[in-house]
Chain A
Amino acid sequence: MAGPSIDALGQFSLTTGLGPIGRAINFTNSNEAMLAAAIIIAGLFALGLKARALVPGRMQALVEVLYEFVHNMCLDTIGEEGKRFFPLVFTIFSFILLGNLIGLFPYFFAFTSHIAVTLTLALFVFLFSTGVGFYTHGFGFLKFFVPEGVPGWLLPLLVPIEIISYLSRPVSLSVRLFANMTAGHVMWEVFAGFMLLLTAGFGVFGAIASVVPLGLNVALAALELLVAGLQAYVFAILTCLYLHDAVHMH
């Protein structure tokens, strides 16, 4: 096949970043984006904490809004114990949010579109919250799988369902984020490639017609911005919910 073609998945392929050093230590292009996200978060804090003003400036207000948003989410969802998990939830939320956002820019790698990344994060959350559950309640945490107020003869059916639903948490948590980010980026690439195909296939008429996929991409950009924020929020609030279950059992 001659002419342009759509390579919607090429954007997800991993290479090594940071030049020869990265090649030597297998530091990938997705790690570059992670590093950028971490540096942006730390930089935001450095800028936001410069003035420490009573009446905050823009940067300070931005960091304060982020802080209070996650802080309230932790306290509202987990309860008083949420304070202990706040740094963890904040780290996860800000890392995913920045990862989603910088992935929207051309030439930036969207590391949250990699199932290995999201599954690792989700497994960490799953194992951590389970650990918190056993740490807080000992083996009493196993009662979490026994629903209250249910006739005894139903338990042999319900307990396995509860366990399966509990075990499926990391899967749904990771696939939700991975699928959302991947789908968005694939759609973008497809519509953008479609413009090239139209122009190559139908000349001037095709170039004019490619306004349609262009418009779709503009609309998609807005949607993806929403998805980027929303999915980071969903990941963080589910983390809080799992921690709530671990601390309070119900």
Chain B
Amino acid sequence: MRRFSAALLLALAPSAALAEGTMPQMDFANPLTLDQVGWMAVILVVLYLLLSRWGLPQMGKVLENRAAVIARDLAAARAAKLEADRAVAQLTITLSTARANAQAEVAKAVADAKAEASARAIALNAELDAKLAESEAQIISARDAAMAAIKPVASEAAREMLIKLTGSVPAQEDLVRRVDDALAARKAA
């Protein structure tokens, strides 16, 4: 129990020590307390000169350099993007022009072919019409020739039949007129 109270007492030692004013920090009678401040001033001045003349400007340069490089790269990337956009626009224009040209070409080719075909058809039609007209003319002339040839034969046949039936020879002009009338009647029918 006595030891325990001793321990407790000692645990409170710091506050007791502080109360007694024996803190080394407050011991201004000790010349070292103020001498350390003098040496601190020396160390701090050297450190300040070292940092302000060398360390900090150098580090600042490193950071500035990085910022510059990043800015430069960003600018380059932006320029490249602009270039790419321009190229894409160019490509789009070229493509659409080419498409329009090709379509015009195709349309022209189709129109040419159509025109040629229709011209050929017209020529062919004309040729065929001509041939048809020629043939019709031939037919007409052949028929006329046939018709012309049929008249003497019909007159002869009618004269022979009239001779055999009636025994009299008919007048030549009358017979020809009657045959002509009959042929005209047939033709009209």
Q: Does A216 belong to the interface (CB within 8 Å)? A: no
Residue B146 CB within 8 A of the other chain? no
Minimum distance in angstroms from A60 CB to a CB of chain B: 8
- Looking across the interface, which residue of chain A has its beta carbon closest to that of B32? A14
- The listed residue with most A CB atoms (<10 A of its CB), out of B30, B37, B41, is B37
- Residues of B within 8 Å of A16, CB to CB, are 32
Binds B, one of A47-55, A222-230, A235-243: A47-55
Kindly provide the distance from the CB of B133 to the nearest chain A CB, expressed in whole angstroms.
97
Within 8 A of B (CB), among A72-127: 86-88, 90-91, 94-95, 111, 113-117, 120
Q: B-facing mask of A162-196, CB < 8 A → 1, else 0?
A: 00000000000000001000100010011001100
Judged by a CB distance under 8 angstroms, whether B31 is at the interface is yes
Query: Is A129 located at the chain interface by the 8 A CB criterion?
Result: no
- Determine the chain B residues whose CB is within 8 A of the CB of A10 once the complex forms: 24
Are A34's CB and B50's CB within 8 A? no
Residue A134 is within 8 A (CB to CB) of chain B in the complex? no
- B-side contacts of A136, CB under 8 Å: none
Q: Beyond A6-B13, A27-B39, A91-B52, is A114–B33 a contact (Cβ under 8 Å)?
A: yes
A68 contacts B by Cβ under 8 Å: yes
**Across the two chains, which residue of chain B brings its CB closest to A11?**
B24
Could you say which of A15, A63, A94 contacts B32, with CB atoms under 8 Å apart?
A15
Taking CB atoms, residues of chain A closer than 8 Å to B6 are: 1, 201
A28 to B59, CA, bound (A): 32
B104 CB–A CB distance under 8 Å: no
A199 to nearest B CB, angstroms? 10
The answer to whether B36 and A116 have CB atoms under 8 Å apart is yes
Contact (Cβ within 8 A) B30 A194? no
A41 with B47: in contact, given A87-B56, A116-B25 (CB under 8 Å)?
yes
The verdict on A201 contacting B48 (CB below 8 Å), with A6-B13, A12-B23, A34-B40 known, is: no
**Does the CB pair A31–B54 fall under 8 Å?**
no
Verify B14–A6 contact, CB threshold 8 A: yes
By a CB distance below 8 angstroms, the chain A residues around B60 are 67
For A158, list chain B residues within 8 Å (CB).
none
- Decide if A201 touches B4 in the complex (CB within 8 Å): yes
Asked if A45 is an interface residue, CB under 8 A from chain B, the answer is: yes
Using known A-B contacts A14-B24, A16-B32, A116-B34, determine if residue A67 contacts B39 with beta carbons closer than 8 Å. Answer: no
- Is A155 interfacial (CB 8 A cutoff)? no
B75 within 8 A of A: no
Quick check: is B186 within 8 A (CB to CB) of the other chain?
no
Pair B63/A9 contact, Cβ less than 8 Å = no
* A42 to chain B: closest residue by CB: B50
> Could you say which residues of chain B place their CB within 8 Å of the CB of A64?
59, 62-63
Q: Are B56 and A111 in contact (CB under 8 A)?
A: no
A132 within 8 A of B: no
A28 / chain B contacts, CB cutoff of 8 Å? 32, 35-36, 39
Is B66 in the interface zone, CB < 8 Å from A?
A: yes
Contact with A along B53-71 (1 / 0, CB 8 A): 0111011101101100100
Assess the A182–B25 pair: CB atoms within 8 A. Answer: yes
Q: In the bound complex, what is the Cα–Cα distance between A88 and B48 (angstroms)?
A: 7
Q: Inside 8 A of B24's CB, which chain A residues have their CB? A: 9-10, 12-14
Contact A9 B10 (CB under 8 A): no
**Nearest Cβ in chain B — how far from A98, in angstroms?**
10
- Bound complex: CA A94 to CA B40 (Å): 14
Residues of chain B contacted by A8 (CB below 8 angstroms): 13-14, 17
Judge if B187 is at the interface, Cβ distance under 8 Å: no
A–B pairs, 8, beta carbons within 8 Å: A9-B18, A9-B22, A41-B55, A49-B59, A52-B65, A64-B63, A120-B40, A194-B11
**With A13-B24, A48-B59, A114-B25 already in contact, 5 other A-B pairs whose C-beta atoms are closer than 8 Å:** A9-B14, A38-B44, A41-B47, A42-B55, A91-B51
> Which residues of B line the A interface, CB within 8 A?
3-4, 6-7, 10-11, 13-14, 17-18, 22-26, 28, 30-37, 39-41, 43-44, 46-48, 50-52, 54-56, 58-60, 62-63, 65-66, 69
